[in-house]
Amino acid sequence: MAELIPFRWPAEWKDVSKLDLLRGTPINCLAGETAPPFTSADFPFVKLDPEHPPKGVTLREGVWPRVAPATKKEGAPAGPTGDAWVDSNAWVVRLAHLMEPGTTVWLTEQAPGGNEVTSMDSFVKPIAEAEAFGAHWVIALDRIFREELEQSSEAAVRSWRRMMSTLKFFAGRRDWRSWEPVAALAIVSSFEGDGKLMSEEFLNLAPRRHLAYRAIRLADGPATSFEGMKAVLYLEPEPPQGEMRTKLFDFARGGGLVIAPKGTVTGSAVERKAEHGLWPVGNGRVAMPLGGWDDPFLLVAQVHLLLGHRDDVVRVWNAGSTDTYFVASKTDRKALVHLIPYADGSTQPITLGFREPYRSARIIRLDAEKVVKSSKGPLGMEIPVGEVADYAAVLLEL
């Protein structure tokens, strides 16, 4: 059975002939809270009920992906130290895949609505964002888009075609979904209980700093290899116990850095760094906070400094509010960096840097691709990506 690609059927559309819009596109099912007043063998209806999600699907509410706009006269919302706030679903999808493996995530956010006008061009972004992380956005048109499409306005038709070609773009590259995150940092957490907010926000905020991570469920921790990791963040309110503790200390003894809550080790720290004390363990170290872990934004910054930018798996320049998601194939020597800009318009010309000596780089955009020549920088190779609007990927080969 083909994978379901959902479209939220507008309640205003009563006429079955409207289905013609979807024919020849990757969309193959209708979705919503209530079924349309007709049935179609070509486009089965799937009810969006979080309590009873469709088989093989995990539903998540999501947010409209963008840099959060001003809601007050004084200015736009910002991060704790002034960076623009980004509404992103990256962490929502990655966490859903972790917690409910084997399912496909459907994001059900809709355009902001109210008195806010959403540009029809911006409907590509929620598709590209969801697909880059291996999810689907339940495509939903707002009133203006729907009415313009009904009138076959040039702008609406053009935007709709771009949306459909974006779906086709990712449908033709499904193998990317099985590629695994490239990171020097592993995050072990239950992502539940008292530490839920902190651990979720860590996943949300780490991409703002291009801090690549691999998330591991606490229950899976003892059996999961930390090979290739430089640091493991044990993101729980209480110190690790039992098998998990043994595993973490083995990792530290082997030269790794374990960042864990207060109480994990006793005695005096031999060094202080990024508001953490450091204790030597074998060839490695354990870091514990001098105070507490209260602020996820600060914790992300501190963890990044404890790990050090020398171990950044990808370096990024001129990206503004763009997320990078670095994944690698398990079967061959290919890797890929997804670039998902959240601001409107194009970025400045982006440069990516890598320590690994990739022998080729291909910039893949939604409508074109090209091979680019890398240059040697002081810290490895650098790749000129160019300006990015909506989405781009950099395919690398060792």
Partner 1 sequence: MRGEISSRLWNRRELLAGGAIGLFGAAATAAPSAKVAVARCAAYDAGVLAALRTMFDQIGGIGPLAAGKTVAVKINMSGPVRARTGYRPAWYTHWSHPAVIGAAVHLIGEAGASRIRIVESSSYDDHPLEENFLLGGWEPDDLLKAARNVEMENTSFLGKGKRYSQLKVPGGGLIYPAFDVNHSYVDCDVLVSIAKLKEHCNTGVSLSLKNMVGAAPGAVYGDAAGYDAPALRPFGALTMFHTGSRQPPEGTPAEKDPNSPREYGHRVPRITVDIVRSRPIDLAIIDGIETQTAMETAAEQPAKGPVRMVRPGILVAGRNPVCTDAVAMAIMGFDPMADRGAAPFETSDSTLRLAEEAGIGSRDTRTIEVAGVTIREARFPFRA
Given 317, 345, 369, 397, the residue binding partner 1 (CB under 8 A): 317
Q: Which 146-185 residues touch partner 1, going by CB under 8 A?
A: none
CB 388 within 8 A of CB 350: yes
Question: What is the Cα–Cα distance from 342 to 268, expressed in whole angstroms?
Answer: 44
Question: What is the Cα–Cα distance from 323 to 257, expressed in whole angstroms?
Answer: 25
- For the bound state, the minimum distance from the C-beta of residue 310 to partner 1, rounded and expressed in Å, comes to 6
- For the bound state, the minimum distance from the C-beta of residue 295 to partner 1, rounded and expressed in Å, comes to 11
Contacts of 69 (CB under 8 A, 6+ apart): 76, 116
- For the bound state, the minimum distance from the C-beta of residue 318 to partner 1, rounded and expressed in Å, comes to 5
Q: No. of H helices and E strands in the chain? A: 7, 25
Under the criterion CB under 8 A, does residue 355 sit at the interface with partner 1? no
Under the criterion CB under 8 A, does residue 323 sit at the interface with partner 1? no
Q: Which residue, 94 or 208, has its beta carbon nearer to partner 1? A: 208
- What residue type is 131 in one-letter code? E
Under the criterion CB under 8 A, does residue 312 sit at the interface with partner 1? yes
Nearest 5°: the CA angle 78, 74, 300 is 10
Q: Which residue, 40 or 318, has its beta carbon nearer to partner 1? A: 318
CB 261 within 8 A of CB 239: yes
Count CB atoms within 10 A of the CB of residue 350.
24
- For the bound state, the minimum distance from the C-beta of residue 337 to partner 1, rounded and expressed in Å, comes to 15
- What residue type is 51 in one-letter code? E
DSSP-derived 3-state class of residue 227? coil
- For the bound state, the minimum distance from the C-beta of residue 213 to partner 1, rounded and expressed in Å, comes to 18
Under the criterion CB under 8 A, does residue 309 sit at the interface with partner 1? yes
Given 63, 98, 305, 343, the residue binding partner 1 (CB under 8 A): 305
Q: Which residue, 48 or 381, has its beta carbon nearer to partner 1? A: 381
Question: What is the Cα–Cα distance from 260 to 288, expressed in whole angstroms?
Answer: 5
Stretch that binds partner 1, among 38-46, 123-131, 153-161, 315-323 (CB under 8 A): 315-323
Stretch that binds partner 1, among 106-114, 173-181, 276-284, 375-383 (CB under 8 A): 375-383
Count of residues that interact with partner 1, criterion CB under 8 A: 22
Q: Which residue, 119 or 348, has its beta carbon nearer to partner 1? A: 348
Write out the H or E segment, with its range, that includes residue 262.
none
Question: What is the Cα–Cα distance from 358 to 371, expressed in whole angstroms?
Answer: 13
Stretch that binds partner 1, among 14-22, 61-69, 124-132, 306-314 (CB under 8 A): 306-314
> How far lies 138's CA from each of 48, 116, 131, 167, 395, in Å?
10, 20, 11, 12, 27
Given 44, 112, 237, 308, the residue binding partner 1 (CB under 8 A): 308
For the purposes of burial, counting CB atoms within 10 Å of the CB of 117, is it exposed (0-12), middle (13-18) or buried (19 or more)? Answer: exposed
- For the bound state, the minimum distance from the C-beta of residue 370 to partner 1, rounded and expressed in Å, comes to 15
Under the criterion CB under 8 A, does residue 316 sit at the interface with partner 1? yes
Write out the H or E segment, with its range, that includes residue 259.
strand 257-259
Under the criterion CB under 8 A, does residue 315 sit at the interface with partner 1? yes
Given 76, 155, 270, 379, the residue binding partner 1 (CB under 8 A): 379
- For the bound state, the minimum distance from the C-beta of residue 341 to partner 1, rounded and expressed in Å, comes to 14
> How far lies 101's CA from each of 180, 224, 338, in Å?
13, 15, 21
Under the criterion CB under 8 A, does residue 271 sit at the interface with partner 1? no
Q: Which residue, 284 or 353, has its beta carbon nearer to partner 1? A: 353
Stretch that binds partner 1, among 14-22, 60-68, 231-239, 348-356 (CB under 8 A): 348-356
Which stretches does DSSP call E strand in 295-366?
Answer: 315-317, 322-328, 334-341, 350-354, 360-365
CB 328 within 8 A of CB 337: no
Q: Which 79-118 residues touch partner 1, going by CB under 8 A?
A: 81-82
- For the bound state, the minimum distance from the C-beta of residue 82 to partner 1, rounded and expressed in Å, comes to 5
- What does R_g of the chain's alpha carbons equal in angstroms? 22
Q: Which residue, 71 or 318, has its beta carbon nearer to partner 1? A: 318
Stretch that binds partner 1, among 66-74, 133-141, 219-227, 309-317 (CB under 8 A): 309-317
Residues in contact with partner 1 by the rule CB under 8 A? 81-82, 301, 305, 308-310, 312, 315-319, 348-349, 351, 353, 377-379, 382, 384
